[in-house]
């Protein structure tokens, strides 16, 4: 099976930080951030009731289905950390093999990440290369 390293959901606007309240809902929290970026303002508890969260967390397939249910147009792509400058932002990334985060800004050597577990963080590109599981 082809590894799909990130979920791209482009647009322009402000992306809020939405923190997960359960360890397994990072994917749903990421979609809530992207949806809010596009003007769909729903709180995480409403999304949890509407779409549910597995005890094992979200898969790429469930993220794609949920994103479509939020009237977003998701597209899964495979890329390397060095190619993030060409990705439409915000984008949901697979992180450290077991987590999802939202990348909101990419410059030549820094990447801004909204991590639903810890909040907004800025990483050097070499740090992103180690954590981005694409």
Band (10; pLDDT cuts 50, 70, 90): very low
Q: Give the DSSP per-residue string, 91-119.
A: EEEEETTTEEEEEEEE-SSEEEEEETTTE
Q: Which two three-digit tokens encode residue 59?
A: 């898969």
26 is a catalytic site residue: yes
Cα 134 from Cα 93, distance rounded (Å): 8
The string of pLDDT tens digits covering residues 18-67 is 999 999 999 999 999 999 999 988 788 888 888 877 788 888 999 999 99
Residue 92 has pLDDT above 50, yes or no: yes
Cα 69 from Cα 119, distance rounded (Å): 25
Catalytic residue among 26, 31, 63, 81: 26
């Amino acid at each position: 099976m082809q590894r799909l390293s990130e979920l791209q959901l482009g647009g322009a606007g402000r992306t809020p930080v939405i923190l997960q309240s359960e360890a397994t809902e990072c994917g749903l929290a990421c979609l809530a951030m992207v949806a809010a970026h596009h003007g769909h303002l729903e709180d995480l508890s409403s999304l949890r009731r509407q779409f549910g969260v597995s005890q094992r967390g979200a898969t790429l397939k469930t993220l794609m289905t949920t994103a479509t249910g939020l009237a977003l147009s998701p597209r899964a792509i495979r890329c390397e950390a060095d190619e993030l400058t060409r990705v439409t932002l915000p984008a949901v990334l697979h992180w450290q093999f077991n987590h999802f985060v939202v990348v909101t800004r990419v410059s030549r050597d820094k990447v801004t990440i909204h991590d639903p577990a810890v909040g907004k963080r800025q990483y050097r590109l070499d740090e992103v290369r180690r954590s981005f599981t694409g």
